[in-house]
Amino acid sequence: MAFADILGHERIVDVLRRSLRTGKTAHSYLFEGISGCGRKKTALALIQALFCSVLPDDACGECPSCRKVANGNHADIHFIEPLPDKRDISIDQLRAMQRELSLRAYEAPRKSCIIEPAERMSVNAANSLLKTLEEPPGDALIILLTENAGMLLPTIRSRCQLIRFSHLSPEHVQTLLERAGIAAGTASFLAPMSGGSMQQAYELDNESLAVRRELVLTAIAKLDIGRIASVFDASEELSGNRDETLELLDMMISFFRDAVHLAAGSSDILNRSVRPAIESISSRHSFNRNLELLNKIYETRYAVQRNANSKLAIDHLLMNIAAAEA
Ligand SMILES: [Zn+2]
C-alpha cells in the first residue's frame, strides 16, 4: 500500500511523509475517523514506508519488506483487536503485546502495533497501555485507531499524536469501489449512500444485491410467452448499460447453474437463500432445457461483452426463457 493508493487524506499523507523524511515519526499515533474511511490503510502505509528498504518516505512495493507487509506476514507488525468471542481488548492481550515489543525487531528498523478499536480496551488494558506509551519498548511505533478519541482516557490521548480523518467524498468512494473491481454502475449507485465509508458501501452492496436478486427472480417467474408484454416489461426492468447487463447475466448464470444442479438431483447450489425460487425455475423445464438456457445465457454474456446492444440481447434472451420447450 503506497501512499498514492490512499484517497481523500492528502494533507495527512503529506504530514506523515514529511515526518518519515526528517526521521521525526512519532512513537504513538491516534487515528480518529469513521470505520471504512481509510485509517487502517493509512496506518499500514505508514508502517510499510517506515520498513521499506528502498524509499525514504513511501513504500516501493517491491523490496522483501514491502512484500511481506503487503502479504500480511511481516513479523514486526502486530494487530490487537478484541478476540472473536469478546467485546473488549483484554489486559492479557496488552501484556502479550508489551512482551513482544520489548524483543528486538526481527527484520524491520522498529516493531509496530495497530490497536483497533482503541475505545474497546478494558480499563485495565488502557492503564497498562499507558505505561507502554510513557516508555515505549525499543523504538516501537504504536498506532491506535478509534471512531471517537473522546472515548479514550485523556492520559492516553495526550501521549499520542492525534490525527483526524475526514469522511471520504462520494467521488473517492466510487473510485475506490471501482479499483476494488465493483462495476462502475454499481459503484456510482452505492457511493452517494455510503456516508463516506467504504465499509458502509460494502454493506449496502450486500443489501442491494439481495434486493436485486429478488427482483430478477420475480421477473423470470413472471415470464409468459403467451403475454409478450411480460417479456418486454421484464427486459425494460432488468437491462441497463453494458456493465449492469453483464452483472445481470452473471446473476442469471448462477441461477440457471443452480437450476441445472437441482434438475440433475444435486442440491449443491450457490443461491441457498432463494432456493424455492430456484426450484420453481428448475421444475418449469426439463434438465436438457435448463442446460440449454444456461448455455444461451453464456452466449448472451459473450455477445454483450463484445459490445452487442444490451437491450436487444436481453429481449432475445428473455423470449428464449419464456418460450415453451421446443
Ligand atoms: Zn520497499
The reported pTM is 0.70
* Ligand 1 center to 67 CA (angstroms): 7
pLDDT at position 9? 97
Three-class secondary structure of residue 144 per DSSP: strand
Report the alpha-carbon distance of residue 65 to residue 57 in Å, rounded: 14
Ligand 1 centroid to Cα of residue 202, in Å, is 30
Q: How far is the CA of 60 from the centre of ligand 1 (A)?
A: 4
Give the Å distance between the CA of 105 and the centre of ligand 1.
17
The per-residue pLDDT for range 9-65, each reduced to its tens digit, is 999 999 999 999 999 999 999 999 999 999 999 999 999 999 999 999 999 999 999
234-246 in b/e burial notation, b at 16+ Cβ within 10 A? Answer: bbeebbbebbbbb
Q: How far is the CA of 64 from the centre of ligand 1 (A)?
A: 7
Mean pLDDT of the chain: 91
Residue 325 pLDDT grade (very low, low, confident, very high; cuts 50, 70, 90): low
Domains of the chain: 3-166 (3.40.50.300), 197-322 (1.20.272)
110 Cα to the center of ligand 1, angstroms: 15
